[in-house]
Amino acid sequence: MKRLISSLSLCLTLSLVISPLAAAVTSTADDQGTDYRKQWHSDISTGYQTLAAQSQALKDQAETYCKAPSSEGLKQTRKAWLDAFLAWQEVRFVDFGPVEQGNRAWQFQFWPDPKNLTARKASYLLKDSAPVTAEKISESGVAVQGFPMAEYLLYDQTFSAGSNALPADRTCSLLVAVTRHIADNGANLANDWKGFESNYVGNQQYTDTTIRAAMAGLEILEERRLAAPMGLRGNGKRSVYNADAWRSGTSLIAAEASVRGLKNYFLPAFSSLLHDRKQSGLAQDIEQQFDEVLANFPELDRPMAPLLADDNAFRSLQSLYIDITQLTALVNDRAAVELGIVRGFNSSDGD
Amino acid sequence: MHELTRRSLIKAALAGGAAVTLTGCGMLPEKAAYKGARQYTGAIGLADGSFAVGAIAPDGKMLWQSPVSTRCHSGCNRPGSAEVLFFERRPGWSFYVLNSRTGERLHHIQAGEGEHFVGHGVFSQDGRFLYATASRYDPGEGIVAVYDSQQDYQRVNTFELNGTGPHQLTLHPDGRTLIVGLGGILTHPDYDRIKLNLDTMKPALVLVDSQSGATIGRFSPSHHQLSTRHVDVAPDGTIYAAYQYQGPAHELPPLIARYRHGRYEEIDLGESVHRKLGNYIASIVAHPENDLVAIASPIGGTALVFNGLSGKVLEQASIADCAGVEALAGGDFLVSSGRGKLVRIGKGQPAREIASMPVQWDHHLV
């Protein structure tokens, strides 16, 4: 409780320290900007390569399992799904560049899914008698093409108790086809990101774009992935169905991976930028706050549902939430204001 | 069809000339022939996360705020009445009819079954019929839904647009032709705001006869990912369309098109200006008293005024999250922002802030 109070007072202090006159990042000498973007390009490339490799491993494991199903094989396929899913979480904040092409980000993870299209589409595809081809997956929409569909087939409790449960033939075909689609997307994304290098490094607007992407990633984490299932928004009811990856119970380990991805792939160049802008103190605060958030793990690498159901257990979730709100405040409010970066009411809505 | 279009537009241009004379005597600075009150209305987001529609006087004073349950986008004034309408933002399941003097809610009209609004509407000149762009979302068909305000906004007609993703529409000064921005982007309410057809988009500027519903003109941008969202028309009948480019951010295609004298052309504002627009224009307004056109880009944080005939940029201002634009009497424009600013911008003088209020203005002022 004491920690909670001190955290909250820190939040208040932070929100008051605002410099009203901030120049935009893009006004920095551009050769410096080029250095930041070179580093971001290289760091994000590392993340994309990991995603490509883990997606390939998931596809291979799904094929192996479906050729000779066993309970151990199912376990290994779930593990391969999680490794690939976490590799995606690490780069999920990147919302620009090749991941925008063909809605790739949505293909990897269609979420939120309030109408449960994942289950509806699975049921529809499993009833259909036509073979589950790559074309079928390509034309079936983003709810079929990524990690949530594979998660549904591998983890959904109701589904796993029914007659279509793995390793049923048609379900196996669907699982293999979906993981192939994920692996193709992973390989193409890593490849296209390499080809994007000169456009990315050569255009100074991508500095702002990259920082905005991290800001949006943090905001989605705080608001949609945590506050919403914790009942801190909307009708005030706690519900794990508002979280992502609730079927596999990996909402929190996924949150950890997203923070780790921001730390590994975004923070290094961002820290350099802040240092160059005479914001070393702020850079240090942000680095420390990343560690504060990550210190909640691995203790919190647990399914979210039991934590929502028990007030005592809920406190550990609150503690994570507060650490993340502080990180968001440091990056999205303080650093963004210092750097003159705006994420607006109108600038992100697409009308 | 091409001949018909040209004829009707030449006729329109003549009618437009008369409109210029009428507005020349210091009447209201409106592009439409009529506006009920000397005020500007916009959708707003409030500090507590709730939403409203708010009206301001030209000096920036808030006249009223009317709470609504979800975020609205744009709307229109009903000629000859004290009614202002606002549409829920995409996917919009309803529109509100408000008393423009008090903000009191008069009607709340739901979208038709299987349809949603997209944020925009316009009235016939006599104020009777409302034309609202909408989408039949399962087949992804763009339509103009027609409502009769004299029958409590009963739905009376539907015009097919033969395309996807209509957005803003306005009425030509001929009083008859609807000018529709067809964005070309397929979305579905089950899929959040995901753009489902970026490879196969077919955006267009579409002209529709508001009496027969027939499409009488259709013009495609130079690239299939130039989503044609916003439109306006000058009193002389010159039509402007503003694009939002769906391709990579480092490409800088033209973002504005003009249709006059039977020719559809794109206007290049120059690379340095294009860099400031983020491939995204939220509003375009042709001033009814002069040749000036203003646009606002919230992504680029830039509003600017250019000469509609020459394409020369005359004034620019950096306004964070700016989106709404309206014409002011005397030849200037009013720009609103998601940060509560109202800024006056015109030719030959620097932009100046006239108000800053604790609200977030959504895309459009009407």
Cα of B347 vs its chain's centroid, Å = 22
Using an 8 Å Cβ cutoff, are A164 and A126 in contact? yes
A346 contacts in chain B (CB < 8 Å): 282, 298, 321-323, 337-338, 360-363
pLDDT band at A343 (very low <50, low <70, confident <90, very high): confident
- pLDDT digit string, tens, across residues A184-228: 999 999 999 999 999 999 998 899 999 999 999 999 999 999 999
- Cβ neighbours of residue A54 closer than 8 Å, sequence gap 6 or more: A80, A83, A84, A86, A87, A186
- Interior angle at CA B314, CA B311 and CA B316, nearest 5: 110
Task: Tell me which residue in B229, B275, B363 faces A346 most closely, judged by beta carbons.
Answer: B363
For residue A351, what is the nearest residue in chain B, using CA coordinates? B282
Residue predicted with more confidence, A335 or A8: A335
- pLDDT value at position B26? 28
For residue A171, CA distances in Å to A72, A77, A200 come to: 18, 14, 41
B300 three-class SS = coil
| Mean pLDDT of all residues in A75-101 | 97
pLDDT band at A349 (very low <50, low <70, confident <90, very high): low
ipTM: 0.77
- pLDDT value at position A4? 39
Which residue positions in chain B have pLDDT lower than 70? 1-37
Taking residue B136's Cβ as centre, other Cβ atoms within 10 Å add up to: 18
pTM of the entire predicted model: 0.84
> Is the predicted pLDDT of residue A2 greater than 50, yes or no?
no
- pLDDT value at position B43? 96
- pLDDT value at position B32? 33
Residue with tokens 């130079």: B222
pLDDT band at A46 (very low <50, low <70, confident <90, very high): very high
Tokens describing residue B87: 């549409």
Q: Which of B44, B73, B194 to mutate to test the interface with A (most CBs of A within 10 A)?
A: B194
B190–A contact, CB cutoff 8 A: yes
* Low-confidence winner among A11-25, A226-240, B158-172 (lowest mean pLDDT): A11-25
Task: Tell me which residue in B45, B198, B248 faces A199 most closely, judged by beta carbons.
Answer: B248
Tokens describing residue A222: 């705080």
- pLDDT value at position A20? 30
- DSSP 8-class letter at B125: T
- pLDDT value at position A191? 98
For residue B48, what is the nearest residue in chain A, using CA coordinates? A233
For residue A304, CA distances in Å to A9, A161, A300, B108 come to: 27, 22, 9, 40
> Is the predicted pLDDT of residue A177 greater than 60, yes or no?
yes
- pLDDT value at position B61? 87
- pLDDT digit string, tens, across residues A308-323: 999 999 999 999 999 9
* Nearest Cα to Cα of residue A61 among A164, A155, A178, A187: A178
Give the Cα separation of A199 and B40 in Å (integer). Answer: 42
Helices and strands (H and E) in chain B: how many: 2, 28
For residue B2, CA distances in Å to B5, B7, B217 come to: 5, 9, 7
Cα of B27 vs its chain's centroid, Å = 22
